Chains A and B, each alone.
Chain A
């Protein structure tokens, strides 16, 4: 995750390390994009260009992959990234209502970020946890078998943690 304390130069060095790590493996692009997104929080053009150059693929290919998968972001995300799975299993188990509830509480839509930079919301495709449907993820935390009523408490937990840290 983006720690916000290291300089741009350090990040570029980190990115180069990521690229070097995967360079000679087949199908390197997706793992590199994952790690780069961990590092930067999203995948700006400069990062995609460096990855393309480093892996010897075209920027068009990188951008094609980034825009194909909803898990990759072209824009910065909130400190807490909420992903609501709208895959088939989650959807039939009521993920739509969960999404609406989050959207209502935070007053943002999919792809947007709250004005304080704390939360961003994304509707995502199946995250492979259908047994827990409906599922949301907040950063690396997974919440499963949810109902819309569970949502306010979950969000409050992060807000309180944030307030305590200040």
Chain B
């Protein structure tokens, strides 16, 4: 039996694999069928009816769901199809809060674009509109149901990809709403703040809790010493907001733009990533040597940490006690840096630019304030930084490249790759031989932990010590590994987990690419390329070679895992109840 079938789409003969959909077949033949709720691999449910086509059946069928078959005749464009799509779209628009001019997604809204493409000039239906309260109580995510078009992409990504399932379609018919059970605000649910719901939302129903105004205020406050740190993944994606192809690293221009915005110093979170490797690598070596709790699991990703606190509270001892690089750096800046530069700690204002919405929540954790002040004062996402650059009238593309500032400036390639899945593991494996034996081995490029396979495994042997490692990205994959650990079926010593699929490069704070782009390319792969490219170009590619980090130990922290390091660079975790009953709303 042939694995392909032949069908006709708009009179054109098309070969398509058995099991594929009309939408996919049309796409491969260069025929564009409009879609709205569809998001490749994540939401293929035919809910919005924008992709309807005539397959000769009694009624039009949703192309995103309809399977190809031998001899099938499909018409994608006829007066009746166009009119039906338009009516459907107008009905969606009639219930949508159309405050487009002041919407965070204006000009990057899939609904707006579709209305343009389908030539909607008048909304012929004036239906009842719902007015729901906006849920802005979370530190990370704002939900505005008035803009929701019930495409269910957020529900799918939260349930199927992340297996958190903090939101669902609630109620039915016209009253249907995407919400948490018992209408609890997101902050009282097991929502881990990963923000994957935001990056899949076609409209402005989900967005980050903005800190832009607070950062502007700090920048104009002359009493404050306002410094900024940028996570590795930001440089790999912020170019997209200024028209660069996906996967273009724009580190120098990003640094230049931050200096133009008025930050006193621009630092690289990668430095703290190197520091993390020193601490976490030492922790791993100690746990192996002293029969400590294994496997050790990375703690860089705050979405993952909250997930573990909610769903695997019995395994919190497996988490590395290392703060995430963001908070480690904040702590370093408010201790080592402030002391070194003679700056009052209370006048230090640390801003982070992160690819992540969960970092906003992390920064608010009361325990992350080792110096008596919050490690990090405000977190903005990659998107928010792009917004600030635009607001300030900075011509990003014409900026001259600039370098990160001393005394924390330089980072190694190991710190850079922290932003992609497998990157923390690779960075650790580059340093573990040194931490165990005092000597490096020959492996710098550890390809086995790279790439977007769901779960990756690696085994290394250093000085007679075998280390079996695993890497998972996306919380659904994390759950698979954690279930094995819980059941005692995992023989790993070290596990890297990042909450977002692909790691930080596809974090919830990154530029939002529409379904059309996500159908054509794997953002996880393209953005990661930017980081591996930067890593390749650096001379220093192992964290323990970072001269700034070595100096930090020499001048301040003494030894990795030492007393001072523990006080400032490590943290602890708490078990969290899922859906506390006293928080339920009527």
Contacts and interface: CB of A to CB of B under 8 A. Distances in A.
Q: Do A and B come from one complex?
A: yes
Nearest to A68: B172
Interface residues of A, number: 13
Interface residues of B, number: 17
Interface string B147-190: 00000000000010000111111111000000011100000000
A59 B171 contact: no
Given A45-B581, A63-B182, A58 B159 contact: yes
Interface in A41-86: 45-46, 48-49, 58-64, 67-68
B349 interface: no
B584 interface: yes
A68 B171 contact: yes
A49 B584 CA distance: 12
A59 B581 contact: no
B166 A60 contact: yes
Nearest to A62: B181
29 contacts: A45-B181, A45-B182, A45-B579, A45-B581, A45-B584, A46-B581, A49-B579, A49-B581, A58-B164, A58-B165, A58-B166, A58-B168, A59-B165, A59-B579, A60-B159, A60-B166, A60-B181, A61-B165, A61-B168, A63-B168, A63-B181, A63-B182, A64-B170, A64-B181, A67-B170, A67-B171, A67-B172, A68-B171, A68-B172
A62 B170 CA distance: 10
Nearest to B583: A45
A68 B285 CA distance: 53
Contacts of A67: 170-172
B78 interface: no
Interface of A: 45-46, 48-49, 58-64, 67-68
Contacts of B159: 58, 60-61
B129 interface: no
Q: Which of A45, A58, A60, A63 has the most CB of B within 10 A?
A: A60
Given A58-B165, A61-B165, A48 B181 contact: yes
Closest 10 CB pairs of A and B: A58-B165, A63-B181, A64-B168, A60-B168, A67-B171, A59-B181, A60-B165, A68-B172, A60-B181, A67-B170
Contacts of A62: 181
B578 A59 contact: yes
B161 to A, nearest CB: 14
A121 B72 CA distance: 51
Q: Which of B165, B166, B168, B578 has the most CB of A within 10 A?
A: B168
A37 B168 CA distance: 21
Contacts of B578: 59
Contacts of A68: 171-172
A45 B584 CA distance: 8
Q: Which of A46, A64, A68 has the most CB of B within 10 A?
A: A64
A72 B181 CA distance: 15
Nearest to B167: A60
A44 to B, nearest CB: 9
Contacts of A59: 165, 181, 578-579
B186 to A, nearest CB: 11
A49 to B, nearest CB: 6
B579 A64 contact: no
A49 B184 CA distance: 14
A2 B584 CA distance: 24
Given A67-B170, A68-B171, A60 B180 contact: yes
